[in-house]
Amino acid sequence: MMSKKILLSLLIVAVMTGVALASPFFGPPAARGPRAEQMVEEMAKEIGLTPQQKEKFLAGVKQVEEEAKDIHAKNKEIFGQIEKELLMDSPNSKAIYSDMQQISQNTTQIQFKRMDQLIQLRKELTPEQKTKLEKIMKERREQGEKMFEKMKQGRGKEKGVGSQEGGTGPQSPGGPEGLGGPLGPGGPLGPEDR
């Protein structure tokens, strides 16, 4: 049986991987904060933003990143709650799933704000700048897909739970909404808990 600390580590890695992959344009969480300005500078050069466009976009990005700090602090607090629950003799899975849903909602809120900034910028671009932006987005999406595929292939080479070479644990039938999943039939979180 897996120890509680290993289980917690896997949970944190799974949630953070999902968060990182959810943001193809703005990069992984480590690329934000002070690097947000550098990313805006690089994008301004690539797209050919005017000084006014760049200043307006940078102000919006900074505002969203300030709001993101508060949400990241909330998520850190929730991770602490999950950790405490997982280390109990009889963890309350319903509480853990609820906390995980809250982390997901918080993260999605920030992603929406980042997308709003990108949409606002796009409205102010010239046709030539829009074409350049579309090219950049396509390249970054392709890079993200390659990275994801590489991660997927790396996992399949190792033996263990979920590997393609005969792991030791059962596969989840249909994910969280499938049979036995937290949101599926018989799971601890029914429609009334969502």
Give tens-digit pLDDT for 82-92.
999 999 999 99
- In tens digits, the chain (194 residues) has pLDDT values of 445 555 555 555 555 444 443 443 444 444 455 577 888 888 889 999 999 999 998 898 888 888 898 999 999 999 999 999 999 999 999 999 999 999 999 999 999 998 998 899 889 999 999 999 888 889 989 998 999 888 888 876 654 544 444 444 444 445 555 555 555 555 555 444 44
How does pLDDT run across 125-157, given as a tens digit for each residue?
999 999 998 888 899 899 989 998 888 888 766
DSSP collapsed to 3 states, the chain:
CCCHHHHHHHHHHHHHHHHHHCCCCCCCHHHCCHHHHHHHHHHHHHHCCCHHHHHHHHHHHHHHHHHHHHHHHHHHHHHHHHHHHHCCCCCCHHHHHHHHHHHHHHHHHHHHHHHHHHHHHHHCCCHHHHHHHHHHHHHHHHHHHHHHHHHHHHHHHCCCCCCCCCCCCCCCCCHHHCCCCCCCCCCCCCHHHC
